[in-house]
Amino acid sequence: IPVAKEGVIDREKEIQFTLIKMSEETGILLDGAQYQLYSVKKEEKDGQKETRTLVAALCTGMYGEETKETSGKATCSLPYGTYVLKEIYPAQGYLLNEKEYRFVLDRNSVSYDEDGNGTYVLEVTDRPVMGKISLEKKGNALTGYVEESQSFVCDTEPVAGAVYGLYAQEDICRDDGQVVYAADTLIDQKTTDTSGKICFTRTDEAGKLTDRFYLGNYYVREISAPEGYVLDPEKYMVRLTWDGRA
């Protein structure tokens, strides 16, 4: 594989490939993401078909304790060629990135230092796992009267018009530790619809409404009851947690 060095061709040196894994939201480096790296070659008989050969299994931050040099990174040596990188397991607390990253190592894409050492860096991201919070309000409603037993008949039905608030039970933080909502902050307030349901939302950093909430502990409390109902004083705890690979 040719590598240029002061006009001399060195056919033995390979390129140091470095994978850098980051959070899509905050850019922090992520350890524990596992990848498979394939070399890609076109078949001689049919130029439209290609064969893939697994050449490396990579895991970010796998080299001992976290340091600035290794955190969020994985490296291997590769010759010139075409490659495809595919994530098989995400970092803990993040969604699997199903995108395949195709790249080419050649004279144009590789960076060389004064000693002729070639490097190529690929940065990829994962999205943090988030959750949705919703509720359904039901209550007893008078639906009839039985003359024989002289008793009323009640059924459970959806309750519209109940106002509920979503609060932070604790400091809710992004993956970089920045507090988004301090404990007991009212995050959202909504009224149950005719089906007795609410889906809570929040405003993200871009100013857009989203129903995706950071992992953590929340609680829901009724703020005002609809006509004919008594206010429910109970706080309903909500825990958004990650319990497996997403």
Q: Which residues fall within 8 angstroms of residue 159, CB to CB, at 6 or more apart?
A: 137, 138, 139, 192, 196, 226, 229
Residue 164 burial (CB count, 10 A): 20
What pLDDT shows up at residue 151?
78
Does the pTM exceed 0.95? no
pLDDT in tens, the chain (246 residues): 444 445 554 455 799 999 999 999 999 999 999 999 999 998 766 667 889 999 999 999 865 454 555 789 999 999 999 999 999 999 999 999 999 999 999 999 999 999 999 999 999 999 999 999 999 998 776 666 667 777 776 777 899 999 999 999 999 999 999 999 999 999 999 999 999 999 999 998 889 999 999 999 999 999 999 988 899 999 999 999 986 543
What pLDDT shows up at residue 146?
67
Q: Which residues fall within 8 angstroms of residue 43, CB to CB, at 6 or more apart?
A: 49, 50, 51
What pLDDT shows up at residue 246?
38
Q: Which residues fall within 8 angstroms of residue 172, CB to CB, at 6 or more apart?
A: 179, 180, 181, 213, 214, 216, 218
Query: In angstroms, rounded to a whole number, what is the distance separating the alpha carbons of residues 34 and 92?
Result: 11
What pLDDT shows up at residue 3?
47
Classify 61 in phi/psi space as left (phi over 0), alpha (psi -120 to 50) or beta: left
